[in-house]
């Protein structure tokens, strides 16, 4: 699955987080089953239903040697994942600000700070196996607008958040076309996977 891939849990009304960046019930399915799936490169284990386990394991295996791009908001909200970004590979933060001066050096070591999305994606492709994971809806939207996004994954959770951070917003012309690749019914979630075609 080489390419640039965005993957988010999303509510039925299109939100990936509440206004304060908390996810509420969007991550409940990660602990709603009996099958253990360890996170790649990060000390976390999911317990999901069998159908979700197969889908999630395949995705995590596909990004095992990939690089990772996120925005400054995600980087700061997660506190840099304690210096261990998801996937365990190189990580690139899109920001115009310098790295936080008060953060431990070992927490910053895996991260490279880049001034724009295009340079971050280019460097991430070169740093890994060609596959790049994208975190943060703003970064995904910018990638989509620039024709850089190859795949969109949505873990659709049957809840309404009512307000917050939308997955799809500020999409410019919106000329990209989506080809359905996979649909998997899990427990408390439906997994949707689309290939992106740019004009």
The overall average pLDDT reported for the chain is 88
Q: Max Cα separation, the chain?
A: 45
Integer CA distances (angstroms), 51 to 39, 74, 87, 171, 188, in order: 17, 28, 21, 32, 11
| CATH number of residue 66's parent domain | 3.40.430.10
pLDDT band at 101 (very low <50, low <70, confident <90, very high): confident
Phi, psi of 85 (to 5 degrees): -65, 155
Nearest to 92 by CA among 147, 139, 45, 46: 139
Residue 41 is predicted with a pLDDT of 66
Q: Over the stretch 48-82, which tens digit does the pLDDT of each residue have?
A: 999 999 999 888 887 777 888 999 988 888 888 88
Q: Over the stretch 130-168, which tens digit does the pLDDT of each residue have?
A: 789 998 899 999 999 999 999 999 999 999 999 999 998
Distance of alpha carbon 114 from alpha carbon 93, whole angstroms: 6
* Residue 158 belongs to domain spanning: 3-197
Q: Which two tokens stand for residue 130?
A: 């060609």
**pTM score, two decimals?**
0.89
Number of domain units in the chain: 1
Kindly report the three-state secondary structure assignment for every residue of 73-89: HHHHHCHHHHHCCCCCC
H helix or E strand, kind and range, residue 166: strand 165-166
Distance of alpha carbon 154 from alpha carbon 25, whole angstroms: 15
Distance of alpha carbon 72 from alpha carbon 153, whole angstroms: 22
Q: What number of residues does the chain have?
A: 199
Q: Over the stretch 28-46, which tens digit does the pLDDT of each residue have?
A: 999 989 998 887 766 788 9
Strand positions, DSSP E, 23-150:
35-38, 45-48, 67-71, 91-94, 111-114, 131-135
């Amino acid at each position: 699955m080489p390419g640039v891939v965005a993957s988010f849990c999303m509510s039925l009304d299109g939100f990936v987080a509440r206004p304060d960046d908390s996810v509420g019930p969007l991550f409940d399915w990660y602990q709603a089953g009996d099958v253990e799936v360890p996170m790649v490169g990060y000390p976390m284990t999911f317990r999901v239903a069998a159908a979700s386990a197969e889908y999630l394991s395949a995705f995590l295996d596909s990004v095992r040697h990939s690089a990772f791009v996120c925005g400054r908001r995600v980087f700061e909200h997660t506190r840099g994942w304690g210096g261990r970004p998801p996937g365990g590979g190189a990580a690139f933060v899109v920001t115009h600000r310098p790295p936080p001066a008060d953060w431990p050096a070992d927490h910053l070591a895996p991260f490279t700070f880049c001034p724009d999305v295009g340079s971050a994606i280019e460097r991430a492709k070169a740093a890994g196996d060609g596959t790049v994971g994208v975190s943060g809806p703003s970064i995904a939207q910018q990638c989509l607008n620039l024709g850089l996004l190859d795949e969109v994954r949505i873990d659709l959770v049957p809840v309404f958040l009512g307000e917050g951070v939308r997955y799809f917003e500020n999409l410019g012309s919106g000329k990209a076309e989506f080809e359905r690749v996979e649909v998997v019914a899990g427990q408390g979630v439906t997994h949707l996977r689309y290939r992106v075609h740019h004009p």
